[in-house]
Amino acid sequence: MNKLIILFWFSMVPLLIGLVIYLTIGSTETIIYKLLEDLLGNTFLTHIRFKVQLPSFIRFHLADGLWAFAMTSTLCLLFLNKIHRRSLLIISIFAAGAFELAQYFGITKGTFDLIDLATMLVFSLLAYFTIIYILTQISCDKHYYSLQP
């Protein structure tokens, strides 16, 4: 499997799902919502918004988890054989938590939330081990096929 295909499924797709969550069930007072409202018009965005009340985890935390998942996947795909695995894991987790901590210290806008932080850590770990597993499998397959006559 090509690394670009993995990047698409493990980075682009989670980010797109996160964007859909923000646009359909998230707050309408976000930078991205206002930007797309200017570009696409209010009618379209109002039309696609969910009319049903989804569980709070999906509404408030899933998009953050998917963002952390996409970031860790991208970092792993780009740097797995270039940075020590343990360092890569630390950078991924630190980067995922840094944005939430930046909110706590008032560096960025938003509200610090421990559930957000925990969700990001879980999704980062999930992405890290999944990507390592997939890349190891690909590496084993390549090695197996190279031994075939």
Q: Which residues of this chain interact with other proteins, rule CB under 8 A?
A: 15, 18, 22, 26-27, 29-32, 34-35, 63, 67, 70-71, 74-75, 78-79, 82-83, 91, 95, 99, 108-111
- State the minimum distance, in angstroms, from the CB of residue 78 to other proteins: 6
Residues near 40 by Cβ (< 8 Å), separated by ≥ 6?
Answer: none
Closest distance to other proteins from the beta carbon of 44 (Å): 18
CA dihedral sign, ordered 106, 31, 20, 131:
negative
Please work out, in degrees rounded to the nearest 5, the angle formed at the alpha carbon of residue 130 by the alpha carbons of 126 and 135: 155
Of 56 and 137, the one with the shorter C-beta distance to other proteins is: 56
Closest separation in Å from C-beta 43 to other proteins: 19
Smaller CB distance to other proteins: residue 66 or 134? 66
State both tokens at 91: 């950078």
Do 99 and 79 form a contact (C-beta atoms < 8 A)? no
Distance CA 5, CA 76 (A): 14
**CB closer to other proteins, 97 vs 138:** 97
